[in-house]
Chains A and B, each alone.
Chain A
Amino acid sequence: MDISMCQVYEDEIKSLEEEIKLLAEQYEDIQQESTFYSEEEILMAIKAFQSELQGESNGCESQSDLKAQLESLEADLSFLMKFTCVQFTSHSKRTIERHRNRTVQKHRISGKCHSLSFQLEFQLLEMQDKEKVSTVISDLSVVMESGEDSNVSKFLSRNEEHGDLLTFFRRLSSYAEWYEHRRRTFLHFK
């Protein structure tokens, strides 16, 4: 009976460790939702940070580095969105596989190019082979506003079949420009 008690405990330890692993992953995944903190919360945090900075003299450098890093990254992102006319309005990712040198994440993105909105879902496989990291897209699914156009749906399904995210974006820009131009022209004639 002592031995069986040991077994009971060992089984429980194993199941608890498994539970903890799953919960930790869940926590991380939910954290990766891009709308996790609202803009007001972030502004509040920045303000709180400022007052913390003024109050403390130690750890000052790393804290101001953090703020500077945030500003620099935001400037880069803002520039890219203006330059490419592509805006990402939401982005969530979930890790569905994690090994030593291989992770698979499921991404869900919505955004727009000019005024044309799109929604994307795909799986992203990252493999580390010595120094190189290789990236492969699979299971791509694209939903676009002007999906009724048969040429567009043919184009989209071809891209989806091959996981061709890059070509989708390369063509999206010119199509969106044309679509926008056409829309304005029609409005003009109304």
Chain B
Amino acid sequence: GKMGEGRAYSWDGVFNHLEMLEAQAHEAGRKQEEKKQQEEKLASLKERVEELRIQRDKLQAKVDLQKKRLSGKEGIMSDAAEASAGAVLEWKIRSIKGMLQLFYLTGISGKLTKQGVCFSISTAYEGTYLDSYYLDLLTKPAVRIHRHSVPVFIPLEQIAKRYLQTDIRRFLSVLSDHLNAYAGRRYQADQLQEHFSDQLEGSLQRNSLCNLLVFNYKVPSGDKTFPFSARLIYRDICCSLPTEVMVSSTVKAPEHLEETAAAHSELFRHMALHKAFCTFSNTEE
């Protein structure tokens, strides 16, 4: 029969009610699961925090101990005993290697060998260190060069003949002058090609010793550019600035450009090539 409206139960009502209970139970289960995951996550985070705190405190204690010994040298005995003898030696080895690296920065470094000494000559242009070259010397019965990595266009034999037997320091110093000047010239040419290729026309020509440079470059004048040609000769091969410079425009150019050519010529004589080109870009702007 028909069920009264006052009664809460109808079949639809029951089903709805059951659905609702099911949903509630499902939701409660999900929330329980979520809560459980949260708690696990929280617990693992807490564990991690504690781990890190312990690690930090240990490190802090180490650093404090370090600072104490460095400032007051207190309790030297106990501290040295704390670090194993091996650790102290390893520290000393690192410290000496650091000092040997300093010698590399000074330009002359070396290592004793069974039959003599192997020197290393470093080159640099201002603050940038470039290639280094080694010289393996034998010392008995007389000083002579066993092996080396000096390029063939550096007059090593000439320099050795003059200084090696009488004054090794002078020999290395003169050789270093040659090598550093060569490295400096090469660096300037490389920098020019790398940073000012848009102003160069064609390729930059150079010899192995980099004491002869020939290149063409563009000089802007108004809204046109004129091709210039430059020829740099470095007769002093211990110098990284040229002794002779010839700059001229390759086509018939307006007269004021002849002044520009002369000005450039002067500039190249006294200023590093890549720096000279830098000033061109600055003045055009």
Contacts and interface: CB of A to CB of B under 8 A. Distances in A.
Contact of B49 (A13, A76, A84, A165): A13
A173 B177 CA distance: 14
| Interface residues of B, dominant DSSP | helix
A77 B96 contact: yes
A173 B103 CA distance: 13
Interface in A1-28: 2-3, 5-6, 9-10, 12-13, 16-17, 19-20, 23-24, 26-27
A75 B112 contact: yes
A31 B106 contact: no
B111 interface: yes
A83 B169 contact: yes
Interface residues of B, number: 60
Given A16-B56, A23-B56, A70-B96, A37 B106 contact: no
A166 B122 contact: yes
Contacts, number: 184
Interface of B: 35, 38-39, 41-42, 45-46, 48-49, 52-53, 55-56, 59-60, 62-63, 66-67, 70, 73, 76, 80, 85-86, 88-100, 102-103, 105-112, 117, 122-124, 126-129, 169, 173, 176, 180
Interface of A: 2-3, 5-6, 9-10, 12-13, 16-17, 19-20, 23-24, 26-27, 30-34, 36-38, 40-42, 44-46, 48-49, 52, 63, 66-67, 69-70, 72-77, 79-80, 83-84, 86, 88, 91, 93, 109, 124, 134-138, 140, 162-167, 169-170, 173-174
